Chain A
Amino acid sequence: MATNRWLATGNYHISYQDEQKIFSTHLDRSIFIVFLSALFIWPLFFEVSNKFMLVIDNIMIAVVAIIGLNIVTGFAGLISIGHAAFVGVGAYTLASFSRVLGDSNMLLTHAWPLMIVLSGLMGAVFGAIVGLPAMRLKHLYLAIATLSFQMIFQWTINFMDFFDQGQTISIGRVHWLTGEVARKDHYVFWYYIILVFIVLCGFMVRNLLRTRYGRCLSAVRDNDRAADAMGMHPGFTKVYAFGLAGFFAGIAGALHAYLYRGVGIESFTLHESITYLAMAIVGGLGTLHGSFWGPAAIKVLDLQVEILAEKAAHFLPASMNLATALRPFTFGLVIVLFLMFEPRGIANWWRIVKSYTKLWPFRY
């Protein structure tokens, strides 16, 4: 059967290899390549302020973290209320190097790709340790275990002199091929680095999900007894899901530390963990591209609320700080509304749009 490799109106897979393909048509592939190159070249054409770039960088770091959270919560179905702590483990790996060797040590400024990967591995180790109760426990108990890891992490940072009691620990400017990255290029430079990491992580996870280990995750999520019967080891799978999540979180933490050129506890609190969970849910749990929608939606919403609160502040007495009230309120409202009316998140809207355009202009 001669199939049109450019356009398809549905799934016409005739072999398992066909179904495993990432891009079902050439059109999909070309759109993806165009989109990716656009992401890489747009900063060359548009002059953007540092503030705007910082927002974008922030969103993208959150994307890396959410990819990790999606593995553990979305694909493996284990609730983690301590993801910010894993991100923090990554960031504080860098911070401890900075404390021991000084903040402008060669290792930190020149070998930074190595350091980022190392932070990721550190996150993975901690993830696997915290995941150990998963060998025996399910659902609620596991959520509480991750919550307690979050609290222990916060305490460790807040009360240890080595980490400066949670005060900001600075990290030096990094060097690139042409020398030290200047202040004005800092955010654009890190935009590219984070983008590269996102692409790498994205491909890694996308491919992971096509392998035995990836399918293992969703099998355990859907029914762990059945998964056990089919020869998988649910306990081990869960620990390794936590390890993977910790790995991505650690990378996100290291990127965060480098972007802000410092590490402080306030970016890794329980509140941040909850924000990560909200991002994952708003984006759509258990979908890879949901990891991109969620952070973008939540961060943009946060900014809009802030602007709105600033505008509204003119009409209110000065004693009322509307921003502090509105931010948690809208945040909570968005979570609750999504859970009640669109539990599959923004990814589901994307799916609807996609299936609509697939058949366009020929509707049923």
Chain B
Amino acid sequence: MTYFFQLVVSGIVVGSIYALSALGFVLIYKSSKVLNIAHGQIIAVGAFITYALTVWMGIPIFLSLILSMGATFFLAMSVERIFLRRLIGEPIISVIMVTIGLMSILDGLVYLTPFGTENFSFPVFLPSTPIDLGGVYISWTQLMGVIITIVMISGFSWFFKKSTVGISMRAVSDDQLASMSIGISVPKVFGLAWATAGLSAAAAGTIIGNITGLNFDTLHAFGIVVFPVVILGGLDSILGAVVAGVIMGLIQQFAAGYLDGNWGLNGTAEVLPYIILLIILLIKPHGLFGIHEIERV
């Protein structure tokens, strides 16, 4: 039974990281209907900036996390400004391909730095003995990751519910024409959506980097793993991203814990999300919490 609870705990940890990664993805999709395939790269860049600031410049990690969130805020905003703004109204394939091109460009830039080829790990700043919850263990780093995720997500929820900017972003995602007519600058909102996505990406990257170590491949793979999460949750639902993130984390941990090694299966955690994705697309394409507005043939 403790094995089961151990899996639940690690599932929640992984799931909360997925939730945070998916959050940025959903923010961009919700406001501008852009599928950002380069999200994993932004996550990686955020993690690297935090590392560089903490280790190379000697800034305390929480301060450097905030600084790197600021950096990706402007990175993502300028990406939107330079590449995507002029593609508003272009066919969907152009927009998707631009984010793919962006992914390649960021890949190239990262490979220029040492982070592209070498592995780094964050200095340990929390106690290394895990917390014992009656036989179930959770490390301090993981706990910190979950806490930061919860804080970030509740912060975002508050932002979208109460602040004027957040409300205008929701308005744009609801109806662009109507929000233009009441004086909301739609391009500015697109930029802001990208910026907030960049901000959450840096946080996600830093948490992942702390838990698994800094490896470019692992980090940017999160940009692809968010697809099953956001489809399960519904492409345009922030609540969906959170719930689906945790569900996906649990499914992966259970698969790794119970399926692997039996019946000749191996590495099921890697493939199960995509199989679930295909099934959801076939039977319930709008996901758990998405708006039931799928364009059908």
Contact = CB atoms under 8 A, between A and B. Distances in A.
Contact of B111 (A138, A144, A328): A328
Nearest to B107: A328
Contacts of B60: none
A281 to B, nearest CB: 6
Interface stretch (A118-126, A176-184, A329-337): A329-337
Main secondary structure of the interface of A (DSSP, over half): helix
A192 B35 CA distance: 41
Interface stretch (B146-154, B244-252, B263-271): B263-271
Interface stretch (A26-34, A87-95, A127-135, A193-201): A127-135
Contacts of B116: 324-325
Nearest to B103: A332
Interface of A: 73, 77, 79, 81, 132-141, 143-145, 147-149, 151-152, 155-156, 158-159, 161, 224, 228, 234-235, 238, 270, 274, 277-278, 281, 285, 320-321, 324-336, 339-340, 343
A94 B281 CA distance: 31
B108 to A, nearest CB: 3
Contacts of A324: 111, 116-117
Contacts of A329: 104-105, 107-109, 111
B48 to A, nearest CB: 14
Interface of B: 35, 83, 86-87, 90, 92-94, 96-98, 100-109, 111-112, 116-117, 224, 227-228, 231, 235, 264-267, 270-271, 274-275, 277-278, 281-282, 285, 294-297
B297 A340 contact: no
Contacts of B83: 336, 340
Contacts of B271: 151-152, 155-156, 159
B88 to A, nearest CB: 12
Given A148-B228, A155-B271, A329-B109, A321 B117 contact: yes
B105 A336 contact: yes
A143 B282 contact: no
Given A140-B35, A329-B108, A340 B224 contact: no
15 contacts: A73-B93, A133-B282, A140-B92, A144-B227, A158-B267, A325-B109, A328-B107, A329-B104, A329-B105, A329-B108, A331-B104, A332-B102, A339-B90, A339-B94, A340-B98
Given A155-B267, A329-B105, A336-B101, A136 B296 contact: yes
Which of A81, A143, A320, A339 has its CB near the most chain B CB atoms (within 10 A)?
A: A339
A253 B100 CA distance: 24
A145 B235 CA distance: 14
Contacts of B103: 274, 332
Given A336-B105, A340-B83, A141 B111 contact: no
